[in-house]
Amino acid sequence: GWRLMDGTMLGAQSPIQAIIIDERISVDGKNSVRLYATERTRLFQNVVQEVPVTAGNHTRLRIQHRTEHIRVEFKQKRSDLKVQLTYLQNGNPIAAPHVVNGRLGSHVWEMLEIESQVPFNATEARIELISSLSGTTWFDGLIFEVVEPKGVQ
């Protein structure tokens, strides 16, 4: 299942980012995950899950994200609103992560997508939902599936 993992730390271990299951806002079910921070937040957390994969498969990760007043403050980085997919072998990364960045500001649900091929020595994939910026981000509707490679009919 999903768990929290320490992510970006800006000089101190507190205050810590607020992450909750939001039962009031969702795109396709009962709830979403909500990440909230301010310019005072110093420790951000990533929402993480590892899933088994089959070497050589082509995969597609799709997830919806929604934002409210997402902005860069203090020492935050614009690129820290993202979804990341890292292939692992027995828990250790074996390749650079695949990354898709979210859109800052305030917007309704928008899809983020990563298509990739599972490396031949991979045993699992780590999916990370990251919003190390001020404001509120919701993630929901994640689908990680095996697909036909592009160009194959």
Q: Average pLDDT of 9-13?
A: 96
pLDDT in tens, 20-40: 999 999 998 899 999 999 999
The tokens describing 70, both together, are 């997402």
- For residue 24, count other CB atoms closer than 10 A to its CB: 7
pLDDT in tens, 47-90: 999 999 999 999 999 999 999 999 999 999 999 999 999 999 99
Question: What does the alpha-carbon distance between residue 35 and residue 30 come to, in Å, rounded to a whole number?
Answer: 17
